[in-house]
Amino acid sequence: RQRGREEERKRGREAERQRGRAAERQRGREAERQRGREAERQRGREAERQRGREAERQRGREAERQRGREAERQRGREAEKQGGREEREEERKRGREAERQRGREAERQRGREAERQRGREEERKKAERQRGREAERQRGRQAGRQRGREAERQRGREAERKIGSEEERQRGREEKRQRGREAERQRGRDAERQRGSEAERQRAERQGGREEERKRGREAERQRG
């Protein structure tokens, strides 16, 4: 029983250490997830700053084009004042063509920007899906480990119950053997007493026979006298 209690204490200490290690691993995983979330927020902030810088550059380019258009119109007006009608008309034609050219270029620029934006959005969605799948796998692994730990604890409890039942059965068998030995000793004592009583009775019978024999002898002696 002493060894059983010591073994029980050892198992308790080992289970405590196991729980400590599991808690430590859980804290490590939580810290890792925290670092991942912080890195994700950092990337988001960096992307936001990048978009802000890109928008700022875009506004700068647009302002530059606006100044160019204004200068172009200014030169057109100056030429209008300086030249004749034909020259002015030619200048206006060139201005309109340049304006259309700039409009086409701006349209292409907007198309390219929209395409890049769609690409970034698609990339973001893909990364989001990847993170979701990874988180799902992580949850699955965590649930699997949790089920494993629970099964391990269940097996430990079952083994503990089996050990307790076996000890109980062992005690029952030992008590039964003890009772059997005690009954055997009791039967021996009873048989011994029985044999003593029987010997006493036989001695008494022999003593009575001898007394009877002496009485008959005395009677016969008197008869002869």
Walk along the chain (225 residues) and give the pLDDT tens digit of each residue: 888 889 999 999 999 999 999 999 999 999 999 999 999 999 999 999 999 999 999 999 999 999 999 999 999 888 888 777 777 788 889 999 999 999 999 999 999 999 999 999 999 999 999 999 999 999 999 999 999 999 999 999 999 998 888 889 999 999 999 999 999 999 999 999 999 888 888 888 888 888 888 888 999 999 997
The answer, as to whether pTM is greater than 0.75, is no
* Full 3-state SS string of the chain: CHHHHHHHHHHHHHHHHHHHHHHHHHHHHHHHHHHHHHHHHHHHHHHHHHHHHHHHHHHHHHHHHHHHHHHHHHHHHHHHHHCCHHHHHHHHHHHHHHHHHHHHHHHHHHHHHHHHHHHHHHHHHHHHHHHHHHHHHHHHHHHHHHHHHHHHHHHHHHHHHHHHHHHHHHHHHHHHHHHHHHHHHHHHHHHHHHHHHHHHHHHHHHHHHHHHHHHHHHHHHHHHC
pLDDT reported for residue 225: 78
